[in-house]
């Protein structure tokens, strides 16, 4: 029998809606403002900066979600200056740490770092200086494996703490803690030791990307207590989003797109593999673009050289794997192209976010094909770089299966994003990041909102009712992907095992394309009729995102008191790739009464979905 894992509930307070944090009457307010001007040369605070600083200075654990470029560094650098003692900053990459230290030195603030590459003697020297009682350093930057592997560091922290010289822990790029995140680093999981050893030292976790599940996972793993969460909108109004079918003329399409829209401008093309990076680069060079590639098998000096060339506009286009990105600060990136399917929506959002830092309009184009889905899925199951199970130092086999599952689910969500031809791209991304967005505010800056194709309103009340009933009937313990499997009549093992519970609803939605069924299900989540919640299991050390019914809103649906109308493309496309040779007829779609979707003929979508479905 299935073991029901133990559940922990996580509680937070929402800092963004609490007026006490914007007060200017804290004992440190004056000092803060003076230092912000004098040391950092800033005339004011950016949104949430003052609030975050006040919360962390008050001794609270704080979780910050702020888009890249929003000014997260200041929220710990200022407190570090005006507090006694040392601030320990954990950052994932040596290159990021070097950047930060250089910036601090430019403002005449001495900062130290420890990393695996340094001489033992040099490291001891720094630790001695820090413990000396009148250290010139206010900051110690370290990579996460230092915390996990250096007893010497922990001993020095203990000694600092016993002299009240340990001011604060800062976890930068905190999403790296989570298996759900797109940048999982096993060593980040070891950071839980800090709160265990030093429960009274305030912790500040910062990230530019986190879904609800990632956030919960991070809070759990770090052991944050009654944490105050600050978040602000992740919408980027100056970015233009579109998804384009990827054909075998993809490289010509990319060339044409750049030539017509961004010739000689700066851009990034994200590719799946090292080989792809090199192939795309070569093709673009032939087309007359100044392009270079960047990936993990190049040596660091080579990579640094390419990045520098690109920063100085000696080359325009960098064709890179996702290894290229964190800490890239080029303001005038005019386009981010995805040559293949990203692994998750938050990863995609983050990668697109590297365009248009200067606020000028910029394009994000994703080339989507079903075969890329298979490729990425294969890579994930092989445990590609950063995919958890085979990552160095990570040996908790119990979790490995779960990582695979979450990665696959993240990928499936990305697929349904690409296959969605109706909803606003901003809406889809932001909903995934836990934010509501009114699509009318997109103002036709995504392909779906600016599409001239005609849409038709359809009544999906019956489907909605069945989905809600299914979630309820199965005891609110499955993910949305799993509910869709049951609804569409999957015969896989887990679905079969619980078949008796689902009765007539197993397969009730088999006439629906997978993308349609998920769209309706996700719509119910955005309408608060269903809700996603996170379960954390002590046993497996994992989190899962599951669906539950919001009773107050669901009753109206279940009792038939509410109708649900959604938009769908009105014309059925003829699939060129259909092997059966069947030409789908254009079945008339009724507008007011319920019509089962897609019973008439397979659209390209449903062919994709059927293949997708059997591939699972
Ligand atoms: P993040 O870590 O959120 O991506 P950074 O901390 O690197 O962002 O800050 C991005 C840029 O914004 C930096 O150049 C920083 O100097 C600048 N910045 C931060 N806060 C302010 C402020 N209050 N006023 C003006 N510039 C600021
Ligand atoms: Mg930062
Ligand atoms: Zn839109």
Residues near 111 by beta carbon (within 8 Å), at least 6 away in sequence: 100, 101, 104, 105, 137, 138, 139, 140, 141
Return the higher-pLDDT residue of 148 and 61: 61
Confidence of residue 327 (pLDDT cuts 50, 70, 90): low
Would you give the distance in Å from CA 375 to the centre of its chain? 21
Query: Cβ–Cβ contacts within 10 Å for residue 581, how many?
Result: 5
How close is the Cα of 504 to the center of ligand 1, in Å?
56
Using the atom order of ligand 1, give the atom closest to the CA of residue 43.
24
Query: Rounded to whole angstroms, how far apart are CA atoms 601 and 608?
Result: 13
- The enclosing H or E element of 401 equals helix 397-419
Q: Which of 99, 68, 65 is nearest to 352 (CA)?
A: 68
Tell me, what's the pLDDT at 33?
97
Confidence of residue 11 (pLDDT cuts 50, 70, 90): low
Tell me, what's the pLDDT at 215?
85
Return the higher-pLDDT residue of 411 and 51: 51
Average pLDDT, the chain: 83
- At residue 285, φ and ψ (nearest 5 deg) are -60, -40
Pocket test for ligand 1, best of 32, 73, 95, 207 (most atoms within 8 A of CB): 73
Q: Locate 53 and state its tokens.
A: 């600083």
Query: Rounded to whole angstroms, how far apart are CA atoms 55 and 154?
Result: 26
- At residue 81, φ and ψ (nearest 5 deg) are -70, -40
Hey, whose CA ends up nearest to atom 10 of ligand 1?
Answer: 69
Furthest-apart CA atoms within the chain: distance in Å: 81
- At residue 457, φ and ψ (nearest 5 deg) are -80, 135
Judged against a pLDDT cut of 90, whether residue 340 lies above it is answered with yes
pLDDT, tens digit, for every residue of 84-93? 999 999 999 8
Q: Which ligand is nearest to the CA of 425?
A: 3
Judged against a pLDDT cut of 90, whether residue 519 lies above it is answered with no
Judged against a pLDDT cut of 70, whether residue 425 lies above it is answered with yes
Percent of the chain's residues with pLDDT above 70: 84
Query: Rounded to whole angstroms, how far apart are CA atoms 529 and 536?
Result: 23
Tell me, what's the pLDDT at 152?
87
Tell me, what's the pLDDT at 595?
34
Does ipTM come in above 0.95?
yes
Lowest mean pLDDT among 146-160, 298-312, 315-329, 527-541: 527-541
Tell me, what's the pLDDT at 147?
87
Predicted TM-score of the model (pTM):
0.72
Return the higher-pLDDT residue of 109 and 569: 109
Neighbours of ion ligand 3 (CB under 5 A): 424, 442, 446, 449
Q: Is 509 helix (H, G, I), strand (E, B) or coil?
A: coil
State the average pLDDT over residues 506-533.
Answer: 86
Tell me, what's the pLDDT at 412?
84
Tell me, what's the pLDDT at 254?
98
Judged against a pLDDT cut of 90, whether residue 410 lies above it is answered with no
């Amino acid at each position: 029998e299935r073991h029901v894992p133990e559940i922990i509930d996580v509680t937070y307070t929402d800092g963004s809606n609490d007026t006490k944090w914007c007060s200017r009457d804290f004992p440190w307010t004056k000092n803060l403002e003076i230092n912000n001007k004098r040391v950092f040369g800033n005339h004011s605070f950016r949104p949430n900066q003052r609030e975050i600083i006040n919360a962390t200075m008050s001794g609270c654990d704080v979780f910050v979600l702020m888009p890249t470029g929003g000014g997260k560094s200041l929220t710990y650098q200022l407190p570090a200056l005006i507090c006694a003692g040392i601030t320990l900053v954990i950052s994932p990459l040596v290159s990021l740490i070097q950047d930060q230290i250089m910036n601090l030195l430019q403002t005449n603030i001495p900062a130290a770092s420890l990393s695996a590459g340094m001489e033992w003697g040099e490291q001891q020297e720094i630790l001695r200086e820090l413990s000396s009682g009148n250290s010139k350093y206010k900051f110690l930057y370290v990579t996460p494996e230092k915390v996990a592997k250096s007893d010497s560091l922990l001993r020095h922290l203990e000694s600092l703490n016993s002299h009240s010289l340990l001011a604060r822990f800062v976890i930068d790029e905190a999403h790296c803690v989570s298996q759900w995140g797109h940048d999982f680093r096993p060593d980040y999981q070891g950071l839980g030791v800090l709160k265990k050893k030093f429960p009274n030292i305030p912790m500040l976790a910062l990230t530019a990307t986190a879904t609800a599940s990632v956030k919960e996972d991070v809070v759990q793993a770090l052991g944050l207590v009654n944490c105050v969460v600050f978040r602000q909108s992740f919408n980027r109004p100056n970015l233009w989003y579109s998804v384009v079918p990827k054909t075998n003329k993809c490289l010509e399409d990319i060339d044409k797109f750049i030539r017509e829209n961004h010739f000689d401008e700066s851009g990034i093309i994200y590719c799946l593999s090292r080989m792809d990076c090199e192939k795309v680069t070569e093709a673009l060079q032939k087309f007359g673009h100044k392009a270079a590639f960047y990936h993990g098998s190049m040596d660091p000096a080579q990579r640094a050289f390419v990045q520098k060339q690109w920063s100085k506009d000696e080359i325009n286009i960098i064709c890179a794997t996702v290894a290229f990105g964190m800490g890239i600060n080029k303001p005038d990136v005019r386009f981010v192209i995805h040559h293949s399917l990203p692994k998750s929506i938050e990863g995609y959002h983050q990668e697109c976010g590297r365009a248009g830092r200067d606020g000028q309009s910029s394009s994000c184009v994703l080339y989507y094909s079903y075969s890329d889905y298979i490729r990425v899925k294969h890579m994930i199951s092989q445990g590609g770089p950063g995919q958890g199970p085979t990552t160095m130092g990570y040996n908790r086999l119990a979790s490995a299966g779960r990582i695979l599952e979450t990665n696959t689910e993240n990928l499936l969500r990305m697929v349904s994003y690409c296959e969605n031809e109706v909803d606003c791209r901003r809406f889809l991304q932001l909903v995934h990041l836990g934010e509501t967005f009114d699509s009318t505010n997109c103002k036709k800056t995504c392909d779906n909102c600016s599409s001239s194709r005609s849409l038709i309103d359809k009544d999906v009340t019956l489907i909605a009712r069945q989905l809600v009933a299914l979630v309820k009937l199965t005891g609110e313990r499955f993910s949305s992907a799993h509910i869709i499997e049951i609804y569409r009549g999957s015969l896989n093992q887990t679905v079969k095992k619980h078949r008796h519970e689902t009765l007539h609803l197993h397969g009730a939605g088999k006439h629906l394309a997978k993308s349609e069924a998920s769209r309706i299900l996700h719509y119910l989540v955005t309408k608060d009729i269903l809700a996603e919640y996170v379960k954390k299991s002590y046993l497996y050390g994992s989190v899962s995102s599951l669906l539950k019914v919001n009773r107050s809103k669901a009753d109206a649906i279940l009792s038939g008191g509410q109708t649900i109308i959604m938009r769908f493309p009105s014309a059925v496309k003829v699939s060129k790739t259909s092997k059966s040779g069947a030409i789908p007829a254009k079945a008339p779609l009724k507008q007011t009464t319920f019509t089962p979707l897609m019973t008439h003929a397979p659209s390209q979508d449903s062919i994709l979905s059927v293949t997708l479905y059997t591939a699972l």
